[in-house]
């Protein structure tokens, strides 16, 4: 087994016991990146000297008895929307080519303080708006399960890098599903914690009222470890072996099963996933969520309105530096009135109350992350943008924690089970995700990428 295949806990144990060095672990990842990056195109910036220096510091600290915890010496990647000191933050746009911050985002500082080693920056859709596009600063990242297909977005490089084994975990952002949907499409785990639990300082905003920092990992256990380091009060890794017995699971089947966009494979795999949870001892109940289309529309209004405000001052002078899809997405905000925005916010509050009420009677709610597998990249070359039907955006409106875990395959491409929990209850989301993961082999499967 290569060092790149080790879980965070196994790699951490080997580092702590002196059977592996942080430099050797980093070099193993760099070797894999050199071999596979031309196919995956996940990274947009690597600084080997900086990363190797950080790994050497981690080794020196370990040798000196200063072990910082389970992320000490573990490499990680950062979405190119999040500042890492002295690495460019281009936001996937030609308009940001000269942006090299002197300080890191708060989320990166927390990881570095825990001893983790920043490996580099990974691709994003331009400003996290829409994509994939072929006229931005970088070519689109590719789905490791089939490089002719999209990764999902906007944390495209984060999911692709983890799925390809280029890095064990990556940090992304999630405003409407931008951690969970690429995680589902790429067959990895994506966790969007409760709104406000992870800091947004040093993260380029898309829609400030909906923005979340999120975590993409190869397993639920890995995600729970990272979450527990970043937000210790969440205790996300304390119940991973507790199982699902006697938990109440609400199944929101009505939110997707009759949607014209849903793939029959998604319905079948979701029913199978719920059957697995039932066999694990969970109590399954059908639940009725408020109308999905209204929640999605409210979220879209807020994203377009707030994104336009973020970009308003620079969009005009730098119009030609924005890609076509980014310009079109931002222009959609022009038609929105203050009344439109107020109505969207009011609907978001009502929807959050209704989800809270359901979760007062259930430990979690489950549904698919996306309604189809990842579409081919060729679609985005011929259309203005790729619309991919998901069930993620409403939980950015409400701020509830949500996780996507692999739930099977259709046509050789992965699909994701989405688990929604009570606010501040990442521990329960991770518990259910870990139980499902342990009872299936979906998360253990990895794509084959020939040299």
Query: Phi and psi (nearest 5°) for 191?
Result: -115, 120
Instruction: Give the angle 260-149-189 at the CA atoms, nearest 5°.
Output: 80
- Give me the CATH topology for the region 3-294+326-439: Amidase signature (AS) enzymes (3.90.1300)
Q: In which band, very low, low, confident or very high, does the pLDDT at 24 lie, cut at 50, 70 and 90?
A: very high
Residue 129 predicted with pLDDT over 60: yes
Judged against a pLDDT cut of 90, whether residue 94 lies above it is answered with yes
pLDDT at 148 (0 to 100)? 96
pLDDT of residue 282: 98
User: The pTM is what?
Assistant: 0.97
* 164-190: average pLDDT: 98
Tell me: pLDDT of 381 over 80: no
H or E element at residue 214: strand 212-217
pLDDT, tens digit (0-9, with 9 covering 90-100), for 6-18:
999 999 999 999 9
Q: Is the dihedral of CA 398, 403, 408, 410 positive or negative?
A: positive
First to last CA, the chain: 18
Residue 389 pLDDT:
94
Distances (CA, A) of 165 to 77, 161, 170: 12, 6, 11
- Report the pLDDT averaged over residues 65-92: 97
Helix axes 324-331, 292-315, angle to 10 degrees: 110
Per-residue model confidence (pLDDT) at position 42: 98
Reported as a single tens digit per residue, the pLDDT across 274-317 is: 999 999 999 999 999 999 999 999 999 999 999 999 999 989 88
Q: Among candidates 141, 142, 139, 138, which has minimal Cα distance to 90? A: 138
Write phi, then psi, for 131 (nearest 5 degrees): 170, -165
Q: What is the pLDDT, as a whole number, of residue 385? A: 61
H or E element, residue 63: helix 48-63
pLDDT of the residue at 379: 78
Q: Tell me the average pLDDT across 407-425.
A: 98
pLDDT of 161 reads 98
Residues serving a catalytic function are 79, 154, 178
């Amino acid at each position: 087994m290569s060092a790149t295949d080790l879980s965070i806990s196994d790699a951490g144990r080997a580092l702590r016991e002196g059977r592996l060095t942080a430099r050797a672990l980093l070099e193993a990842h760099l070797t894999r990146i050199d071999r596979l990056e031309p196919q995956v195109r996940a990274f947009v910036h690597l600084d080997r000297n900086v990363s190797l220096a950080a790994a050497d510091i981690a080794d020196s600290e370990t040798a000196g008895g200063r072990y910082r915890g389970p992320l000490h010496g573990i490499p990680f990647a950062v979405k190119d929307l999040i500042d890492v000191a002295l690495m460019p933050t281009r936001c996937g746009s030609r308009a940001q080519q000269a942006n090299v911050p002197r300080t890191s985002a708060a989320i990166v500082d927390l990881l570095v303080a825990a001893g983790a080693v920043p490996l580099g920056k990974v691709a994003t859709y331009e400003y996290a708006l829409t994509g994939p596009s072929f006229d931005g600063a970088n070519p689109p990242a590719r789905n490791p399960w089939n490089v002719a297909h999209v990764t999902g977005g906007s944390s495209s490089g984060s999911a692709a890098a983890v799925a390809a084994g280029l890095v064990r975990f990556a940090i992304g952002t999630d405003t409407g599903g931008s951690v969970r949907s690429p995680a589902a499409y790429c067959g990895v785990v994506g966790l969007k914690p409760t709104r406000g639990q992870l800091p947004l300082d040093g993260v380029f905003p898309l829609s400030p009222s909906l923005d979340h920092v999120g975590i993409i990992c190869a397993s639920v256990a890995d995600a729970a470890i990272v979450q527990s380091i970043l937000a210790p009060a969440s205790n996300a890794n304390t119940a991973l072996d507790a199982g699902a017995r006697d938990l109440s699971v609400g199944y929101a089947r009505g939110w997707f099963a009759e949607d014209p966009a849903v793939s029959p494979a998604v319905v079948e795999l979701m029913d199978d996933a719920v059957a697995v949870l039932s066999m694990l001892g969970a109590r399954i109940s059908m639940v009725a969520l408020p109308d999905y289309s209204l929640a999605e529309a409210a979220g879209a209004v807020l994203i377009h309105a707030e994104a336009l405000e973020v970009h308003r001052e620079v969009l005009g002078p730098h119009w030609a530096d924005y890609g076509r899809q980014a310009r079109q997405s931002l222009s959609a905000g022009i038609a929105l009135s203050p009344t439109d925005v107020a109505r969207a916010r009011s609907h978001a509050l009502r929807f959050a109350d209704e989800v809270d009420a359901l979760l007062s009677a259930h430990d979690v709610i489950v549904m698919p992350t996306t309604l189809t597998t990842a579409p081919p990249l060729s679609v985005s070359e011929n259309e203005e943008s790729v619309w991919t039907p998901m069930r993620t955006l409403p939980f950015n409106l409400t701020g509830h924690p949500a996780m996507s875990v692999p739930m099977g395959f259709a046509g050789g491409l992965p699909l994701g089970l989405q688990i929604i929990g009570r606010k501040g209850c990442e521990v329960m989301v991770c518990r259910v995700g870990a139980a499902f993961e342990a009872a299936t082999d979906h998360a253990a499967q990895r794509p084959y990428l020939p040299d």
